[in-house]
């Protein structure tokens, strides 16, 4: 009997499980969230989509939000559950979930954070999943870059100004994309960041 190849989602899961098994990887909130945290509402429901080790989720839960953190990798989710337990964050709910197969529901969240995950077809659903007045914080790699960090496949990186197009239905509060302007040893390079309100 021939062994079946794992399907593409299963292959992705295996890849990310292997990466998160590396104990040196640590959870960090994205700069777009850290440097714009003053824009957050005082409380509410938040989603860290494709959360990995959940740096954004931990940050939001520590600020008192009721947080959902979803990722395909069970290794990442186990590590996040453990971190939340150590910090006694009962308001953080980390779940293994394929966000393409099971996206969020309409008007479910006050805040959605996405860092370093780009599935363009999901953006309209994310916009729908924000409550009226809700905020999205988004940060991921751009094609114009200074370092060689991030995915090599340009399809997984943003074109110039692309986040602005993807979220053009929303009111943009913050946008940053430095490209290769000026002193390349300084600044927030390789990424675009957006905060926008529904």
The DSSP element (H or E) to which 191 belongs, if any, is strand 191-197
* Contact call for residue 146 and ligand SAM (CB under 6 A): no
44 binds ligand SAM (CB under 6 A): no
Buried/exposed code over 100-110 (b: 16+ C-beta within 10 A; e: otherwise): eeebbeeebbb
Q: Between 31 and 173, whose beta carbon lies closer to ligand SAM?
A: 31
> Residue 176 Cβ, how far from ligand SAM at the closest point, in Å?
16
User: Pick from 67, 73, 112, 135: which binds ligand SAM (CB under 6 A)?
Assistant: 73
Told to check if 12 binds ligand SAM by CB under 6 A, we report yes
Beta bridge partners of 191: 141
SS3 assignment, position 54: coil
168 φ, ψ to 5°? -65, -20
Interface residue with ligand SAM, options 40, 47, 84, 99 (CB under 6 A): 99
Under the binding rule (CB under 6 A), the answer on residue 51 touching ligand SAM is yes
Whose CB is nearest to ligand SAM? 52
The reply to whether 142 sits near ligand SAM by the rule CB under 6 A is no
Nearest residue (CB) to ligand SAM, 91 versus 98: 98
For ligand SAM, the binding residue among 58, 76, 94, 166 (CB under 6 A) is 76
136 contributes a contact to ligand SAM by CB under 6 A? no
Spatial separation of the C-alpha atoms in residues 117 and 138, rounded to whole Å: 9
Angle at 114 between CA 108 and CA 117, to 5 degrees: 125
Helix 74-86 × helix 8-20 angle, to 10°:
40
- Does 16 engage in binding with ligand SAM (CB under 6 A)? yes
Beta bridge partner(s), residue 71: 96
130 lies in the site for ligand SAM, by CB under 6 A:
no
Assess contact for 106 and 130: CB atoms under 8 A. Answer: no
SS3 91: coil
Binding site for ligand SAM (CB under 6 A): 12, 16, 30, 50-52, 55, 70-73, 76, 98-100, 115-117
């Amino acid at each position: 009997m021939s062994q079946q190849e794992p399907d593409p989602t299963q292959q992705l899961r295996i890849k990310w499980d292997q990466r998160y098994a590396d104990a040196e990887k640590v959870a960090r909130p994205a700069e777009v969230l850290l440097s714009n945290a003053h824009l957050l509402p005082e409380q509410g429901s938040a989603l860290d989509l494709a959360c990995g080790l959940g740096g954004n989720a931990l940050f939001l839960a520590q600020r008192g939000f009721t947080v959902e953190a979803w990722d395909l990798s069970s290794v990442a989710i186990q590590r996040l559950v453990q971190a939340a337990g150590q910090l006694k964050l009962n308001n953080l709910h980390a779940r293994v979930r394929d966000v393409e197969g099971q996206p969020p529901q309409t008007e479910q969240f006050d805040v959605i954070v996405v860092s370093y995950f780009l599935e363009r077809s999901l953006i309209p659903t994310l916009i729908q999943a924000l409550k009226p007045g809700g905020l999205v914080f988004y940060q991921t790699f751009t094609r114009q870059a200074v370092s060689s960090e991030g995915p090599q496949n340009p399809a997984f990186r943003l074109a110039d100004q692309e986040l602005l197009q993807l979220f053009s239905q929303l009111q943009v509060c913050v946008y940053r994309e430095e490209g290769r302007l000026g002193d390349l040893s300084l600044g927030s390079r390789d990424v675009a960041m957006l905060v926008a309100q529904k």
